């Protein structure tokens, strides 16, 4: 088994959820200036009006997504950029950058992936009428965290 395949196999054996949650918490504290908390089992999933995504290739192959409703995306952008963050483009840019930072933080926490895993440029989809399907049909890890009481879902889907 090559090293890249062993990383994906490792994801089945290890619980990567705490690592993903820690990456989200650190990025929000540094980039947004606030703490997020892991949502309890009874918390609702976010209305996915915004989905930011970053692809991973190399030692890890797949996609990391950050999903939330429009109001939450706007609040994240205002926390990052100030009250001037009022355009749809600025909101999308802020959410894309958050997604990019989470993906980078996560991969750097895994031994053996930091220099051998590349990230794509972030892409953001907005609107209420879309469905998302990833071809990365292997391991899937999802963390739902609360930002100012509103849920944000962060998903990592890896090819097997």
Stated pTM of the model: 0.86
3-state helix, strand, coil in the chain (%, to 5): 40, 25, 35
The residue range of the domain holding 99 is: 3-158
Number of domains the chain contains: 1
The distance of Cα 11 from the centroid of its chain, to the nearest Å, equals: 17
Please, which pLDDT band fits residue 47 given cuts at 50, 70 and 90? Answer: confident
In three-state secondary structure terms, 141 is strand
* pLDDT for residue 122 is more than 80: yes
Tens digit of pLDDT for each residue in 127-160? 877 776 666 667 888 999 999 999 999 999 988 7
Residues 29, 32, 38, 40: is their CA dihedral positive or negative?
Answer: positive
What CATH code is carried by the domain that includes residue 113? 3.40.1550.10
* pLDDT for residue 40 is more than 90: no
The residue with greater pLDDT, 45 or 142, is 142
Q: Report how far residue 129's alpha carbon sits from residue 76's, in angstroms, rounded to the nearest whole number.
A: 22
């Amino acid at each position: 088994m090559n090293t890249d395949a062993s990383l994906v196999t490792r994801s089945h054996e290890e619980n990567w959820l705490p690592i993903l949650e820690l990456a989200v918490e650190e990025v929000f504290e540094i980039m947004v200036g606030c703490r997020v908390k892991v949502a309890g089992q009874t918390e609702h999933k976010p209305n996915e009006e915004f989905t930011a995504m970053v692809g991973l290739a190399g030692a890890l192959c797949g996609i990391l997504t950050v999903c939330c409703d429009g109001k939450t995306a706007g609040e994240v952008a205002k926390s990052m950029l100030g009250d001037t963050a009022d355009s749809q483009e600025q909101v999308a840019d802020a959410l894309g950058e958050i997604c990019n930072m989470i993906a980078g933080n996560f991969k750097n926490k895994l031994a053996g992936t930091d220099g051998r895993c590349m990230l794509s440029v972030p892409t953001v989809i907005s609107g209420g009428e879309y469905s998302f399907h990833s071809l990365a049909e292997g391991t899937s890890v999802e963390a739902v965290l609360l930002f100012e009481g509103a849920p944000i879902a962060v998903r990592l889907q890896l090819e097997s």
